[in-house]
Amino acid sequence: MTTEVKQSPAANSSLFDLRKIAANFPETADTMLIDTRLTDEDHASARVFRVYHPAPAHYHATCDEYLMVISGRATFFLGEAPPFEVGPGQLIFFKQGTIHGTPEILEEPFIVLAVDTPRRDPADVIFVNPSDGTPDSFIQSKRLY
């Protein structure tokens, strides 16, 4: 057990300290994002991630995604709509297959809580332009549990 999570004795529920988790991300990264997986169940996964570099247009083929901004500000786009600014307390939702990305980080650290339904395999990152990246260049993951 870590200081970031407290599990119940039955291990079927947890309390996560998102501030502590967010504070543990490094200042720089080689990948576009680094995430910490909080849960990884078949029906849903939850993670906290920090965006380090702009994320080009991509989509996920297997899940819907809920993104709650914890800190920082960035521009974000969904589909063909023009980019819009997001900041703390805002929730973004989109269905599987929706092209999205983060073209600009306006205030760092840009940290997000993500819930994927059903669970998103870390390799489920499909770039619109394949030369923009791979799942390995997109995200580095670590598990909290």
* CATH code for position 84: 2.60.120.10
What pLDDT does 2 receive? Answer: 45
Residues in the chain predicted with pLDDT less than 70, given as ranges, are: 1-11, 144-145
Concatenated DSSP letters for 51-109?
Answer: E-S-EEEEE-SS-EEEEEEEEEEEEEEETTSPPEEE-TT-EEEE-TT--EEEEEEEEEE
At residue 54, the pLDDT reads 97
CA dist., res. 84 & res. 3, Å (int): 35
Which pLDDT belongs to residue 12?
Answer: 76
Largest CA distance in the chain: 47
In angstroms, rounded to a whole number, what is the distance separating the alpha carbons of residues 7 and 12? Answer: 8
Could you tell me the residue range of the domain that residue 94 belongs to? 5-143
Structurally, the chain folds into a number of domains equal to 1
How far is Cα 118 from Cα 109, in angstroms, rounded to an integer? 27
b/e burial code for range 54-63 (CB count within 10 A of at least 16 → b)? ebbebbbeeb
